[in-house]
A and B are shown apart, each in its own frame.
Chain A
Amino acid sequence: DAKTTQPNSMESNEEEPVHLPCNHSTISGTDYIHWYRQLPSQGPEYVIHGLTSNVNNRMASLAIAEDRKSSTLILHRATLRDAAVYYCILKIYNQGGKLIFGQGTELSVKP
């Protein structure tokens, strides 16, 4: 079972920032927080991951709460191409790297 909780859907306007929340209250010290997204009719693609500290890459930023029980994926300027289902996933240590997907958040972006 997925160990994360996300809103089913969110809406954003183009070129505005988007904050996608995720709760993972049962996270353990060695679990990494990964975000993937799935564009329509495509396979999932990696977005970002982190353990404790906030992370930035060219696609997004990941803000991790101090107690690690929640995190937020930040898209700084949403584009129409960012419309996708975003999955927040806990990657559990020593479990062969498998990803356990929840229902994700379906992000729609309005022009």
Chain B
Amino acid sequence: DTAVSQTPKYLVTQMGNDKSIKCEQNLGHDTMYWYKQDSKKFLKIMFSYNNKELIINETVPNRFSPKSPDKAHLNLHINSLELGDSAVYFCASSRRGASTDTQYFGPGTRLTVL
């Protein structure tokens, strides 16, 4: 069983569209994250949720809205997609978000905006 899964794996869309990426973890963790890896391979934290509550928002544009229906799911909705949103998006989870916790990453969703 996959610990952290993301759908879809690939997403190709036009500028201006709205799209969502889904993430699920079956590890029983309380904390989930979204990271963005750009074309230069830099990985950057976007959001973190703990028990459905937003705890980290790293000055991401308002067009990005995470939603956590329960602690096993953290979805990412993106409005009015722009060319610069093209990247690989990784979901991750950890037990509590403590300094000692290990983060488990999903396989990534490659978003291409045309």
Residue positions of A touching B, CB distance < 8 A:
30-32, 36, 38, 42-46, 49, 85, 87, 91-101, 103
Contact = CB atoms under 8 A, between A and B. Distances in A.
Contacts, number: 66
A98 B105 contact: no
A91 B96 CA distance: 13
Interface residues of B, number: 30
8 contacts: A32-B100, A43-B4, A43-B108, A46-B103, A85-B41, A92-B99, A101-B44, A103-B41
Interface in B41-76: 41-45, 48, 50, 55-56, 58
A92 B43 CA distance: 17
Contacts of B4: 43
Interface of B: 4, 31, 33, 35, 41-45, 48, 50, 55-56, 58, 90, 92, 94, 96-108
A60 to B, nearest CB: 14
A32 B102 CA distance: 11
A46 B104 contact: yes
Given A46-B104, A91-B100, A98-B56, 11 more contacts: A30-B99, A31-B99, A38-B43, A43-B106, A94-B99, A96-B48, A97-B31, A97-B96, A98-B58, A99-B45, A99-B103
A50 to B, nearest CB: 10
Given A43-B107, A98-B33, A98-B48, A103 B99 contact: no
A101 B103 contact: no
A96 B56 contact: yes
A41 B2 CA distance: 16
Interface centre among A36, A38, A43, A49 (most CB of B within 10 A): A43
Contacts of A30: 99
Contacts of B31: 96-97
